[in-house]
Amino acid sequence: MRIKFEHKKQKVVPISHFIMRLGRYFIFSILLIAFSVGIGTMGYHYSADLNWLDSFYMACMILTGMGPVANMDSDAAKWFSSFYALYSGVAFLSITAVFFSPIIHRLLHILQVETEDES
């Protein structure tokens, strides 16, 4: 199902429709976060031989930009950690954009909507 935003010549959607749209984007953002943390957790577990909790912790810290919490001793762990850090930078910004897009669209739409008097 394609989620379509209203055109600038259309009226602002009711708040109930906006809340539903915001909920869908929130769920999609949560899925993207879960996918990203899952990749990191498995990668750190298998490449750096960290236990599951430490792998999860490391993945969360890297994904949010806080930095590493464990030393990477093997070459495979260093390669994975490097590429996961690059992915995390892009993923964090993209997920943030997905989450806030309905809010920003609504604010911009309210500012740009044409009233019947202006038409």
Q: How far apart are CA 115 and CA 119, in angstroms?
A: 7
Confidence of residue 117 (pLDDT cuts 50, 70, 90): very low
Note the pTM of the prediction, 2 decimals: 0.81
Q: What is the predicted pLDDT for the residue at 36?
A: 97
pLDDT per residue as tens digits for the range 14-30: 888 889 889 999 999 99
pLDDT per residue as tens digits for the range 43-95: 999 999 999 999 999 999 999 989 889 999 999 999 999 999 999 999 999 99
Domain ranges of the chain: 36-110
Nearest CA to 29 among 103, 108, 109?
Answer: 103
* Fold entry, domain 36-110: Helix Hairpins (1.10.287)
The two three-digit tokens of residue 112, written as one number: 């740009």
Q: How far apart are CA 76 and CA 97, in angstroms?
A: 31
